């Protein structure tokens, strides 16, 4: 194992093992660790044909006191249950989810980036229909896999701002569709637009509401957050965005600091009025967005370099709690 902890990006690498459970007739087994990163899957598995597949993303951190702590795993357990319910997957009980996360982190403890490197252990729970159906209906059997990867920044660098593009020719999710849950099928339709955005120099896409293209929904893999000129935290209310654990955390931290928080429809035109805008999520943490382009319109937001002051403060707070440098009064971190 020869890892340069300081220069990790967000890329796949093999670790010691992953954990795999199977569910047959509604009963989950006890799960087993596997060294080889492969599964033997039936060619008729519903996950492969009909996208009966869900995933989650959360992180574990090496802390100042030498412990390893997982950040808000109960939130991901609950969200995975909601996702499973929406696409008729046998749900993973919350206690089993939490135990699985802990087991896999313990089994790969040497892959948790050391304290002070800025890295973390990304945990990827994956849940899918594994038995065959050719008519469109739910599988009889399911697999629940949890694997881990040491990661650094998703985008280029620590709080370096990125430019976003609105592509009016693509939508992310329909108003009564599945944008509010973490199904695998929400991500492959984003591949073509994001490839095209990357080619034009935009690492991130901002999606608008599919019905009218009038309101901000979210970025492809993260929520939209903004700070108004009078210091209010604003984030879109929409039925087709993923309820982000990071956003929920930041809203709570903002409120604790006396910052007003508004969750409401955000018209695209309002972006020009914001003092700070960022993408937030487990993988991207807080990534400032200082330029948003839509056709001939370019909106510049906040400082040219780095992050605006309010989001920077919230970033420091959340990172501080995650790595045990700040108190955790709400018990968000879970020691392994």
Q: Among the options 59, 81, 156, 182, which is catalytic?
A: 182
**Least separation in angstroms between CB 29 and ligand COI:** 26
221 binds ligand COI (CB under 6 A): yes
- Is 59 catalytic? The answer is no
Q: Which two three-digit tokens encode residue 156?
A: 């280029």
Q: Quote the crossing angle between the two packed helices 73-86 and 94-107, to the nearest 10°.
A: 120
322 binds ligand PLP (CB under 6 A): no
Write each residue from 270 to 309 as x if it is in contact with ligand PLP (CB under 6 A), else as -, in one continuous string.
Answer: -----------xx---------------------------
Question: CA distances (Å), 130 to each of 21, 22, 202, in order?
Answer: 11, 9, 36
- Give the separation between CA 226 and CA 278, rounded to whole angstroms: 6
CB 251 within 8 A of CB 273: no
283 binds ligand COI (CB under 6 A): yes
The residue of the chain with the least Cβ separation from ligand COI equals 57
Between 122 and 268, CB nearer to ligand COI:
122
Mode of pairing for the β-strands spanning 261-264 and 233-236: parallel
Q: Which two three-digit tokens encode residue 64?
A: 């100042």
Identify the helix (H) or strand (E) that includes residue 59: strand 58-62
193 binds ligand PLP (CB under 6 A): no
Please tell me the total number of residues recorded for the chain in this structure: 336
Name every residue whose Cβ is closer than 8 Å to that of residue 256 and which is 6 or more positions away in sequence. none
52 binds ligand COI (CB under 6 A): no
240 binds ligand PLP (CB under 6 A): no
**Least separation in angstroms between CB 149 and ligand COI:** 11
Query: In the complex, which residues of this chain contact ligand PLP (CB under 6 A)?
Result: 57, 218, 221-223, 242, 244-247, 281-282
Applying CB under 6 A, which residues contact ligand COI?
Answer: 57, 187, 221, 281-283
């Amino acid at each position: 194992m020869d890892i340069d902890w300081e220069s990790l990006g967000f890329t796949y690498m093999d670790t010691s093992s992953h954990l795999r459970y199977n569910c047959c007739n509604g009963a989950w087994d006890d799960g087993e660790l596997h060294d080889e990163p492969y599964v033997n899957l039936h060619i008729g598995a519903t996950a492969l044909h009909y996208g009966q597949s869900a995933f989650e993303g959360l992180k574990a951190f090496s802390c100042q006191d030498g412990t390893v702590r997982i950040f808000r795993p109960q939130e991901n357990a609950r969200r995975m249950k909601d996702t499973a319910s929406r696409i008729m997957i046998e749900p993973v009980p919350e206690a089993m989810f939490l135990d699985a996360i802990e087991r896999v982190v313990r089994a790969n403890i040497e892959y948790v980036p050391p304290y002070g490197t800025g890295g973390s252990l990304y945990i990827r729970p994956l849940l899918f229909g594994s038995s065959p159906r050719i008519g469109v209906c739910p599988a009889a059997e399911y697999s629940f896999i949890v694997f881990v990867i040491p990661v650094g920044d998703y985008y280029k660098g620590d709080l370096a701002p990125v430019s976003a593009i609105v592509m009016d020719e693509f939508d992310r999710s329909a108003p009564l569709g599945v944008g509010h849950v973490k199904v695998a099928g929400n991500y492959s339709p984003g591949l073509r637009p994001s490839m095209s955005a990357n080619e034009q120099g935009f690492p991130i896409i901002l999606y608008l509401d599919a019905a009218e293209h009038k309101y901000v929904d979210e970025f492809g893999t993260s929520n939209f957050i903004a700070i108004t000129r009078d210091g209010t935290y604003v984030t879109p209310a929409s039925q087709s965005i993923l309820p982000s654990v990071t956003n929920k955390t930041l809203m709570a931290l903002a409120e604790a600091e006396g910052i007003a928080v508004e969750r409401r429809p955000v018209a695209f035109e309002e972006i020009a009025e914001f003092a700070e805008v960022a993408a937030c999520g487990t993988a991207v943490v807080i990534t400032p967005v200082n330029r948003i382009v839509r056709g001939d319109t370019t909106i510049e937001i906040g400082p040219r370099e780095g992050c605006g002051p309010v989001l920077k403060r919230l970033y420091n707070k959340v990172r501080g709690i995650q790595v045990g440098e700040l108190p955790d009064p709400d018990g968000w971190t879970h020691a392994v």
